[in-house]
Amino acid sequence: MPLALTLLAVPVVALLAAVWLPFVNGPQLWLGLPSLLVWSVGWVLTLTPALACVERCRLKTAAALTGEER
């Protein structure tokens, strides 16, 4: 479970730090869109698999504690 939470922390920290990163929070465009928008969308898309990993690890741990098999 600690590995899953560490993987979850990476996109969360990247999203929270976006406003302080000068290469993200600037007047430039990435792929024709504002860089902050592209940065946020990219990290939100990586957040979904990280949350799925946390949920799978949580279910696996709960099943092991109750003696169930999945």
**Whole-angstrom distance, CA of residue 18 vs CA of residue 30:** 14
Burial class (CB in 10 A: 0-12, 13-18, 19+), 39: buried
- This prediction has a pTM of 0.78
- Tell me, what's the pLDDT at 65? 85
Q: Integer distance in angstroms from the first to the last C-alpha of the chain?
A: 17
What percentage of the chain reaches a pLDDT higher than 90?
66
Q: Which residues contact 46 (CB under 8 A, 6 or more apart)?
A: 10, 11
- Which regions of the chain are under pLDDT 50? none
